[in-house]
Amino acid sequence: MNYSSKKSLRRLALMPVVVLVAGLVVVGCYEDYGLTTKDFDAYTTVYMPGTNFQSYKYFLMPDTIMHIVGSGLTDPLAGARKYDRQILDLTASNLQARGYTRLSDTSEIASRSIDPNAVLAVLIGQFANEHSGYYYDYWYGYWGGYYPGWGYGGYYPPSYVYTYDYTVGTNVTEIVEYGKSNSQHRAAPVWVGIVSGLTGEPATAQNRIATGVNRIYEQSPYLYAGQ
């Protein structure tokens, strides 16, 4: 084997090392988008297939938001009560902007001889879910976590165990057919809008809630009275 061939073979033998290094560089290239609390807000809307939203002209809405809390438990969203007025007002204004007329209460249906089947009922509820747990960053622990002088003790938990604990608040707006719900004695939903996000950042809560309530209507262009 001449010198040139040996050199080529050495280059070939180095290739897995090059591939490995290149791979590790790429593995480390997962972008950090610098997400903030508001980036974890999500807005979901679902409608009942076949619903003709233009067949409804009115809506009823209780002037309160129901907090769904387990029996005997403290309401984790009690502090969010101060935003209830804002949520109710924004909900009403969005529906009115889409042509629906708000009725003050159910007695108006009879007094104005309104067809109950042309009426929607808007119900808003809130609940919270707490998430907690841990994860073990085995990759960091294996490749970069050995400190000289520590011996193998450096690998043992909890060196690379991280915990998390966060609460997600959810605001659910459910729109049901008033007439059908009354006649069948159970809710007949036609549309649900869900705003969810992390709690614990009061400075941004008001804007985030307003954005969320408006967003669920923006992404439901079919929801209008047609007037």
Partner 1 sequence: MNNLLKMFVFAVLLTATAVAQDQMSGITWNIGLPSGRMATYVDKASYGGFGFNAQKFIEDNTSVGIDLSWNYWSELTGDIITMDHGAISGTQIRYYNVFPMFLNAHYYLSDKGDEFKPYFGLNVGTYYVLQRLDVGVYTLDNDNWHFGLAPEAGFLYEVSNRTYLSATARYNYAFDSGKTLGGKESNTLVYWGINVGIYWATGWF
Secondary structure letter of residue 103 according to DSSP:
P
CB-based burial of residue 210 (10 Å sphere; 0-12 exposed, 13-18 middle, 19+ buried)? Answer: middle
Single residue of 198, 213, 223, 225 touching partner 1 by CB under 8 A: 198
* Beta strand spans in 2-85 (E): 42-47, 58-60, 66-67
**83 contacts partner 1 (rule: CB under 8 A):** no
Regarding 16 and contact with partner 1 (CB under 8 A), the answer is yes
By beta-carbon proximity to partner 1, the closer residue of 148 and 164 is 164
Of these, 81, 85, 131, 186, which contacts partner 1 (CB under 8 A)? 131
Q: Is residue 9 a contact point for partner 1 (CB under 8 A)? A: yes
Asked whether the bond before 148 is cis by omega within 30 degrees of 0, the reply is no
Instruction: Name residue, tokens 């502090």.
Output: 79
- Name the one range near partner 1 by CB under 8 A: 20-28, 55-63, 152-160, 179-187: 20-28
Residue 143 interacts with partner 1 (CB under 8 A): yes or no: no
Please name the residue that has the structure tokens 């998390």.
164
Contact between 180 and partner 1 by CB under 8 A: the answer reads no
Q: Which is nearer to partner 1, 22 or 78 (CB)?
A: 22
Q: How far apart are CA 124 and CA 91, in angstroms?
A: 9
| Contact flag: residue 30 with partner 1 (CB under 8 A) | yes
CA 19 to chain CA centroid, nearest Å: 40
**Residues contacting 129, CB < 8 A, separation 6+:** 167, 168, 170
Give least dist CB 91 to partner 1, A. Answer: 18
Nearer to partner 1, 179 or 197 (CB): 197
Q: Does 200 bind partner 1 (CB under 8 A)?
A: no
Binding region for partner 1 (CB under 8 A) out of 45-53, 57-65, 87-95, 177-185: 45-53
